[in-house]
A and B are shown apart, each in its own frame.
Chain A
Amino acid sequence: MKFSKLKEKNRSDTAEEDLSSAVFGGKKDKLKKIAYPIILLAAAVLTFVIFVASISTGLSKIPFGTVIKILWNEIHKIPQTWTNMQGLAVIGIRLPRTLAALLIGSGLSLAGASYQSLFKNPMVSPDILGVSSGAAVGAAIAILIKADIVYIEIGAFIGGICAVMLTALIPKLVRNKSIVVLVLSGIIVGGLTSSLMSIIRMLADPQTTLADITYWTMGSLARVKMNEITVIGPIIAACIVILLLLRYRLNVLSLGESEAKSLGVNIGRTRAVVIVCSTLLTACSVSIAGTIGWVGLVIPHISRMITGPDNKKMLPIAIFLGGVFMMIMDLLARTLSVTEIPISVLTGIIGAPFFFLILLKQRRNVS
């Protein structure tokens, strides 16, 4: 079957979606009946609203009109009626953080959703597969040798890809590809990376690199700079586009290898591209914001609750919601206290109970 037929098959929303539903245990939600374009538009509008709210809100009380003027001034120069301090707050602090939160949230969420489809396992996420911790080790090594941001990103990518390859290798070695073994593999890799991180901390200078490494492990957008966003932004955008283009193939992969082969999908190449892009998304996030948990697990589940398991609908929603979630988390991290709250603390506090509720709801649906 050629790809045009495949698309037709996707549109038909029949056997494939049923099988995906079986894989992910989801049921058709009432929300799914709402026309998908409206949901997509609502998600986009919500993302825009939260983006504006994030830039307009902070500990320094700056009137909304002034924020707009400051932002407009970056596009078209106008007479300055605001203080330099206000300009610094909006352009120097809030704008890069909000942009980074949007990119990282979208990226981690999409990476999680892609991994879940690829491994046909709703419990998979960049954290559980060890990608985040592997990327953190790679970044920490680069920090230890006082490398530049580009090398920290490269280190994070290499660490992440090694971790996910190891996690995927273990079930093959033990000849058991069950969900439990995959999760156990993630735990093994997580334990290994945790030990490596401890060694790196022991070797780090307590006054300088140790603080930086600790910062990576807790996650924060406090140190994000605009020039870093210009480095990772295009990479994240490219990975998002590639994964969106592959969303039909991800649907087919979830049908099983023989079905996918018969539909003309190159399984090996598709898997490789999805893994590389998802790992790159995670590595980019880790390289500028450290390890941020739960986003890649919770947001795909919420998206799936809204759209159903069909990746062609679910992935775009996951991108928007991931960005929204992370922008809210960052907003809380920088406004709840004069002390910067590590972002992983917030994603954990909010993500864990939320995930429990999702599981509870799914259990009720199943029962």
Chain B
Amino acid sequence: MKKSKILSLLLVAIVIIASIALFAACTDEDVVIPESGAFGTVLNNVDGTVTVYDYDGEPFTFTPGTIQRIVNLWPANTSGALALGAEPYFVARVAGMLTPWQALMFPDYAALTAEVPAAAGPANVEGLMTLEPDLIIGHPSNVAVLKELDYNGYKLPVVNINFTTYDEMKITYKVLGEILGGRVKENANAWGDMLVANIKRISDGLAGVTARPVTYYTAGGVDFAATMGMSALAQSNVVNEWTVAAGGTHWQKYLLDKGIPSTSFLSGQSVNVEFFSTELPDKIFIGGGQKQALIDILAGTSQSPWTGIAVEIGVENCVFMPYALFDWGRFGAESALQILWAARELHPTIFADHTKSTYIDMTAETIAFYKDFVGFEGMNTGYAERILSGLQPNGTIY
């Protein structure tokens, strides 16, 4: 054998031995996971585990396929996870937050007897531990406490996948998809694509249109009646994002543009009806359940200063938002459809005229979403119309 061949073989042998040594050196204990990272960052570790970084920038490491039991302390996030296909993983449902549509579309979830609290605030940690979860998705108000618990380095499997904007929402679903894998992962990616496509569709339809009607969002009928209109959410979240995407102007933005400071009462506080009457929006979107109180006000059968406001704006411009797994205008997966629905309401001549190419068939869109994306085989036109009207599956009002 020639000297050069021997040298070549030696070189190859050294490379192989070095590779094996290097691989052996990378044992479990040597996997170095950075203590912080950007929300949604995914690391595929050499030991086969995966690390994702949550909203707090903290790592959550898991072995793919081992997360089989989850509890979710945030109702909005729960509805989103259900829509993505995470129903089989839930071991408890959020107390008092099961909507009739969730019960219809996710009977296994509805049948769960174990419950976790819906209210913001401290969770009963031992109660959570009895459920033996592989993953706890915390509520923004209690996730820090859960994360702090430590026993000789052992911590609860808690992640904070929180969001207020569409970008964060996409990351949240992406992280959940990475952790649970399978259909949830596919749906998480598909949801992001759907959101982008819907925003573009409306943007294209509104090309050349300058009108941007002012919209006001209220949480529900009881709030409207009792506290004279609660503007549930301020400008810096998805409510503003779908308003803008649908071709509207958030009432807060409208006030700010006029030089009126309006931050505190738009963050969940009552709005002064006298002030409101001087700055009327073009459209009031009403979310949540318990709508009868507001219907009575609008019809004038219930005494309220808001009756006059509704007459002034036009009763037809006080609209109930669709409601199913969650309020379409809030933080659920249906928020992607809300953009299309709101665009139709704000610009009917463009999106509700079936003779135009920009026409949006909301019934068809709704059926497709719940049947193809959510996976509810029983979806039909009747159900779609009830969802769009904010009604229960049996057609009754909340």
Q: How far is the CA of A223 from the CA of B146 in the complex (A)?
A: 9
* Cβ–Cβ contact A208 & B140, under 8 A: yes
> What DSSP secondary structure best describes chain B's contact surface?
loop
**A312 contacts chain B at the CB level, 8 A cutoff:** no
**A225 contacts chain B at the CB level, 8 A cutoff:** yes
Q: How far is the CA of A85 from the CA of B125 in the complex (A)?
A: 11
Residues of B within 8 A of A85 (CB): 129, 132, 154
Q: How far is the CA of A202 from the CA of B270 in the complex (A)?
A: 10
Interface string of B114-141 (1 = CB under 8 A from A): 1111011111111111101000000011
Q: How far is the CA of A205 from the CA of B150 in the complex (A)?
A: 28
**A211 contacts chain B at the CB level, 8 A cutoff:** yes
* Cβ–Cβ contact A334 & B264, under 8 A: no
8 Å CB interface, A309-367 against B: 334-335, 337-340
* Cβ–Cβ contact B130 & A59, under 8 A: yes
* Cβ–Cβ contact A214 & B127, under 8 A: no
**A34 contacts chain B at the CB level, 8 A cutoff:** no
- How many residues on the B side are at the interface (Cβ–Cβ under 8 A)? 33
**A233 contacts chain B at the CB level, 8 A cutoff:** no
* Cβ–Cβ contact B149 & A92, under 8 A: yes
Given A91-B151, A208-B141, A334-B124, A340 and B117 touching (CB < 8 A)?
A: yes
**B148 contacts chain A at the CB level, 8 A cutoff:** yes
Residues of A within 8 A of B149 (CB): 88, 92-93
**B156 contacts chain A at the CB level, 8 A cutoff:** yes
How far in angstroms is the closest Cβ of chain A from B61? Answer: 16
Q: For residue A61, which residue of chain B has the nearest CB? A: B130
Interface string of A181-217 (1 = CB under 8 A from B): 0000000000000000000001101111011101100
Given A91-B151, A340-B121, A212 and B141 touching (CB < 8 A)?
A: yes
8 Å CB interface, A71-97 against B: 84-85, 87-89, 91-94
Q: Which residue of B95, B129, B145, B269 contacts A202 across the interface (Cβ within 8 Å)?
A: B269
Residues of B within 8 A of A215 (CB): 121-122
* Cβ–Cβ contact A60 & B140, under 8 A: no
Q: How far is the CA of A154 from the CA of B151 in the complex (A)?
A: 30
Q: Give the most central of B124, B141, B145, B269: most A CB within 10 Å.
A: B124
Given A58-B126, A207-B141, A88 and B121 touching (CB < 8 A)?
A: no
**B267 contacts chain A at the CB level, 8 A cutoff:** yes
**B192 contacts chain A at the CB level, 8 A cutoff:** no
**A220 contacts chain B at the CB level, 8 A cutoff:** yes
> A interface vs B, CB < 8 Å?
58-60, 84-85, 87-89, 91-94, 202-203, 205-208, 210-212, 214-215, 220, 222-223, 225, 334-335, 337-340
- Extra inter-chain contacts (14) besides given A60-B129, A212-B141, CB under 8 Å: A59-B126, A60-B130, A85-B132, A87-B154, A88-B151, A89-B126, A205-B267, A214-B120, A338-B114, A338-B116, A338-B128, A339-B119, A340-B123, A340-B127
> B interface vs A, CB < 8 Å?
95, 114-117, 119-130, 132, 140-141, 145, 148-152, 154, 156, 164, 264, 267-269
